Amino acid sequence: MVFDITRHRMTKQRQLILDVLRNTDNHPTADRIYEQVRQVMPRISLGTIYRNLRVLKEGGEIQELNYGSSYSRFDGNPSGHYHFVCRVCGAVSDIELPVMKEINTLAAQVISGKVESHRLEIYGLCAGCGKGIV
């Protein structure tokens, strides 16, 4: 699906937010997206950022992530993939590991419900933070 144009309009704001998310790999927060977008469109409001993030998420264009923080991060890559989270600096990066469908199969054997998907995050120290610590 490209975009549900029968219900949604591709406004300049929405396109810009999507562009920002697709051209970064650091999984920014709403506030960080706001800063980025404001450099091009200074009068955009944070409410518009949040409204568009929701629409884009519901349309399957982007993903929302939240890893123990009080805020969400967003990922312009909507396809299933895993993430690595540094416990020191909080950076989130993509993991080049294929999605393991067998996890769903395993889980289905012990769950009295319908298994649909799973989410996996790896925690540790990123290369940069690992160096500084003894």
80 binds a copy of itself (CB under 8 A): no
Residue 16 has a CB neighbour count (10 Å cut-off) of: 19
* Segment lying near DNA (by CB under 7 A), choices 64-72, 79-87, 95-103, 111-119: 64-72
Residue 118 binding: pick among a copy of itself, DNA, none (C-beta 5-8 Å cut-off by kind): a copy of itself
Q: At 24, give phi and psi (nearest 5°).
A: -135, 160
12 binds DNA (CB under 7 A): yes
Residue 114 binding: pick among a copy of itself, DNA, none (C-beta 5-8 Å cut-off by kind): a copy of itself
Q: Which of 55, 62, 85, 92 binds DNA (CB under 7 A)?
A: 55
**Measured distance CA(67)–CA(76) in Å, rounded:** 17
**Measured distance CA(124)–CA(89) in Å, rounded:** 10
Binding mask 74-113 for DNA (x = CB under 7 A): ----------------------------------------
- C-alpha distances out from residue 10 to 42, 48, 60, 87, 124, Å: 19, 13, 15, 37, 39
